[in-house]
Amino acid sequence: MVQKSVLKQLAREHGTPLFVVDHQEIRRNYAEFRKRLPRVQAYYAVKANPDPAIVRTLYDAGCSFDVASMPEFLIVHENIRDLPAKARQDFIWDKIIYANPIKANETLEELDAFKPLVTYDNHEEIRKIRKHAPHAGLALRLQVPNTGAMVELSSKFGAASGEAVELIEAAHDAGLVVEGLSFHVGSQTTNFENYVQAIHLAAGVFQEAESRGFELKLLDIGGGFPAPYNSQVEPFKKLARRITAELDRLFPKKIEILAEPGRFLVATAATCVTKVIGKARREGKRCYYLDDGVYHTFSGILFDHCQYRLQAFRKGPTEICSVFGPTCDALDTISLAEELPELRLGDHVFSRNIGAYSHASSTYFNGFPPAKVVHINC
């Protein structure tokens, strides 16, 4: 955790709004993931935070990558330019999965030269891949329970388990190779039963596929691993024990296991520092206006259904306040119930655990630029 004294010093040096990324925390989170799930190769979900410096830190630590767009693919690829050509080609297969089940034809054509591993979940995608990326390896994405997830995904992606083997056969008939299965239990999943049910569904599909002559080699258990935003989130080691027990019981060691942690690796690794630029009292309630908001670092309030708690450097009696961002839009509301002391214009406040799905979604709405990014402990 970055100390408050360091945050204050960085704010004085760089100004605000400021997005401070602690790479030592990223390395700790990755080490924790590997320790608790030693059988699972982590493919960082780049969309959580695509900063190239984060990608490089994770690559150096041994991480692989889950990308969902061509720009994300290129961010990863550009960070391995120091490798020889042959190693870069091996890197694509061993280190990147293109895990967006729906891809534009143009994207498939760009990807084909790299012979990538891509996901799919329907017949139309098979036809597209056959025509535009025939050298790709495939992973069929299954629809699985997302009960209790902060962000639900199964209404948008995933084939029903009952049609899974039919889709594997269709890909085979199209001359494509299905390497395995993937699923996603929903983002910030605190209901650990989602993983148990999903692993059971995948095991059933593996058995049916094998009975019909199709050999699957890998299982991608997706993301959803929860970040410790509050004390109600159970420890990761508890989830890891459940996952490990089910994998070891249902999947032989020869099956390669992948996962796509994003939030878990970077959420706790960043802190936002922002400044009070206005204050008022409306209907008896104190209101503060900051130089960062929901069109910028706090975008996760809208897009990620996440609430980030604010803390003040100044001490004193607190009261419930409303906190707004800098834009001329009422949607730019950070909180209507934040407990803060009385602050002065120019005072700084900060929000921890804001590294995932936050700065990555920043805009230039109303002409306000995103927060400046500062990397420490690189």
CATH number at 34 reads 3.20.20.10
What are the tens digits of pLDDT across the range 107-124?
A: 999 999 988 999 999 999
- Does residue 246 share a domain with residue 97? yes
Alpha-carbon distance 75 to 70, whole Å? 9
Active site residue 328: yes
- Does residue 148 share a domain with residue 13? no
Structure tokens at 15: 């100004």
pLDDT number for residue 80? 66
Q: Burial of 238 by CB count in 10 Å (0-12 exposed, 13-18 middle, 19+ buried)?
A: exposed
- Coil, helix or strand for 258? strand
Structure tokens at 284: 């008896």
Alpha-carbon distance 48 to 165, whole Å? 31
Average pLDDT, the chain: 92
pLDDT number for residue 186? 82
- Does residue 370 share a domain with residue 293? yes
Cβ within 8 Å of residue 168, ≥6 positions away: 140, 178, 209, 214, 216
Domain tally, the chain: 2
- Does residue 263 share a domain with residue 178? yes
What are the tens digits of pLDDT across the range 115-168?
A: 899 999 999 999 999 999 999 999 999 998 776 656 656 667 889 989 999 999
CATH number at 361 reads 2.40.37.10
Which one of the listed residues 272, 306, 328, 378 is annotated catalytic?
328
- Does residue 242 share a domain with residue 151? yes
pLDDT number for residue 89? 45
Mean pLDDT for 348-367 is 96
Following CA atoms 303, 308, 313, 319 in sequence, which dihedral angle do they give, to the nearest 10 degrees? 120
Last residue of a domain, one of 267, 288, 308: 267
- Displacement of CA 191 from its chain's centroid (Å): 18
- Does residue 282 share a domain with residue 250? no
Q: What share of the chain in percent tops pLDDT 70?
A: 93
Alpha-carbon distance 246 to 51, whole Å? 34
- Does residue 315 share a domain with residue 225? no
Domain span holding position 175: 23-267
Rg (C-alpha) for the chain, rounded Å, is 22
- Does residue 14 share a domain with residue 61? no
pLDDT number for residue 88? 46
DSSP per-residue codes, 337-373? EEEEE---TT-EEEE-S--SSSGGG---GGGPPPPEE
pLDDT number for residue 148? 62
Last residue of a domain, one of 267, 299, 317: 267
Structure tokens at 258: 């992948």
pLDDT number for residue 154? 67
Please count the other Cβ atoms lying within 10 Å of the Cβ belonging to residue 245: 12
User: What residues form DSSP beta bridges with 340?
Assistant: 319
- Does residue 350 share a domain with residue 256? no
Give the per-residue SS3 of 54-121: HHHHHHHHCCEEEECCHHHHHHHHHCCCCCCHHHHHHHHHHHEEECCCCCCHHHHHHHHCCCCEEEEC
- Does residue 306 share a domain with residue 238? no
- Does residue 274 share a domain with residue 258? no
> Is residue 83 very low, low, confident or very high in pLDDT (cuts 50, 70, 90)?
low
H or E element in which residue 247 lies: helix 236-250
- Does residue 282 share a domain with residue 254? no
